[in-house]
Amino acid sequence: MTKPVVAIVGRPNVGKSTIFNRIVGERVAIVEDMPGVTRDRLYSHGEWLDREFNLIDTGGIELADEPLLNQMREQAELAIEEADVIVFIVNGREGITSADQEVAKILFRSKKPVVLGVNKVDNPDMHDLLYEFYSLGIGNPFPISGSHGLGLGDLLDEVLKHFPEKVEDDYDADTIRISLIGRPNVGKSSLVNAMLGEERVIVSNIPGTTRDAIDTSFTRDDQDYVLIDTAGMRKRGKVYESTEKYSVLRSLKAIERSNVVLVVINAEEGIIEQDKKIAGYAHEAGRAVIIVVNKWDAIERDDKTMQKFEQKIRDEFLFLSYAPILFTSAKTKQRLQHVLPMVKKVSQNHNLRVPTNILNDLIMDAVAMNPTPTDKGKRLRINYVTQVAVEPPTFVFFVNEPELLHFSYERFLENRLRATFEFEGTPIKIIARKKND
């Protein structure tokens, strides 16, 4: 199921990033008291009253060589394009500016639900400042303070009222959903066409639950698959053309609906920072991942080229150490026959359940081989382990003191699980809980 998307818009320095951080509950955007400082991490997850949603901080949308008003217009238009609900932030202490009026006009014309937040209203004595903001024609202004967290609950209550009805994807549980993500021009569409053209077994085109997406269902070797089309990521228009950063926004919707994500890299261009950001979202979402290096036919190779490229991927994508790598060419169909068998394999690993008795025997053996760490005279004691979920496989370790399970020992335990069971292609989650929790 796709989560609703909420976008925060407004001119620079009204406190968008502070509010973004408050809602997602962590400092993911860089906040300084200076316009235009937000850097990149413009997309995160929020939750309010048991409803999860994705949050865009458009403050991160900076267009080179553009006057401020044009930039704001582009940001607002991007938010309108991507969001189900828009939160328009203004500065209560400064009153309405011409830039606020410009953004309000664009939002008003969009016919999208807009919730108006008047920031920097730190106490009830300042509520008189709200009245002038009615003239924007957006509706009731909500007094908030991003820096103190005041009023955000009322604002989010209003946002929730405008969420679309929950829509489930209409596919059998056994159907494997695949999305291809990556920067524009890495060859996603060509790969999709080559994979489908080779099979010639398209059953139907089913409109996806995300806007502008067409899901393609097909069957191979008695396994049903759905390709979630992310070609719509290459949206025409200045925002999408001016920077590749926004391919992330489209990728996220596809990732959420997938079981297996193919992270596509262009062999000719090599790896750039943007590839890592897009892949990072698939990893954070807990999806099974395969790294596909496309256009492998286009580069000069010797007997060490593939090995060197693979090592570079491993060095750059440390967080995807579990992901298999395939070198392919959509143009020549090179190694394309390996893609779907690998998708099926990592999907099975993503769904793997380990019997509790075998799991505990393995962990006890691991502890005997490499004793648990101590801190200030206290030793970590693992009492019991159980698997609580799949997609991704999630293990709860009941221990005497959760904080004693350090990252390095957690990695050792994960490596033991991977060495014993077939977890290629899937992340693993380990949760430490106090024994009596």
Give tens-digit pLDDT for 274-308: 778 778 888 988 999 999 999 999 888 888 999 99
Q: How confident is the model at residue 202 (pLDDT cuts 50, 70, 90)?
A: very low
Q: How confident is the model at residue 54 (pLDDT cuts 50, 70, 90)?
A: confident
139 labelled ligand-binding: no
Higher-pLDDT residue of 117, 63: 117
Query: Between the CA of residue 272 and those of 7, 186, 294, 331, 416, what are the distances in Å?
Result: 27, 12, 14, 22, 32
Domains of the chain, each with CATH number or no CATH: 5-161 (3.40.50.300), 176-350 (3.40.50.300), 356-434 (3.30.300.20)
Written as one letter, the residue type at 115 is V
Written as one letter, the residue type at 389 is A
Order the strands of the 5-9 sheet from edge to edge: 43-48, 51-57, 5-9, 85-91, 114-119, 141-143
185 labelled ligand-binding: yes
Q: How confident is the model at residue 249 (pLDDT cuts 50, 70, 90)?
A: low
In the DSSP assignment, the letter for residue 379 is E
Alpha-carbon 300 to chain mean position:
34
182 labelled ligand-binding: yes
Determine the pLDDT at residue 435: 77
Determine the pLDDT at residue 349: 97
295 labelled ligand-binding: yes
184 labelled ligand-binding: yes
Q: Is the pLDDT at 167 greater than 80, yes or no?
A: no
Q: How confident is the model at residue 200 (pLDDT cuts 50, 70, 90)?
A: very low
Query: pLDDT, tens digit, for every residue of 356-387?
Result: 999 999 999 999 999 999 988 899 999 999 99
Residue with tokens 């413009």: 42
Q: Is the pLDDT at 421 greater than 50, yes or no?
A: yes
Q: How confident is the model at residue 234 (pLDDT cuts 50, 70, 90)?
A: very low
236 labelled ligand-binding: no
293 labelled ligand-binding: no
58 labelled ligand-binding: yes
- Least confident among 66-70, 325-329, 412-416: 66-70
Determine the pLDDT at residue 331: 86
Burial of 300 (0-12, 13-18, 19+ CB in 10 A): exposed
- Most trustworthy range by pLDDT among 99-113, 270-284, 382-396: 382-396
- CA 368/CA 363 separation, integer angstroms: 9
60 labelled ligand-binding: yes
- CA 94/CA 118 separation, integer angstroms: 10
36 labelled ligand-binding: no
- DSSP string for 286-329: T-EEEEEEE-GGGS---TTHHHHHHHHHHHH-GGGTT--EEE-B
Query: pLDDT, tens digit, for every residue of 136-146?
Result: 988 899 999 98
146 labelled ligand-binding: no
Residue with tokens 């290459």: 234
Determine the pLDDT at residue 15: 85
302 labelled ligand-binding: no
305 labelled ligand-binding: no
188 labelled ligand-binding: yes
Of all residues in the chain, what percent carry a pLDDT higher than 70? 82
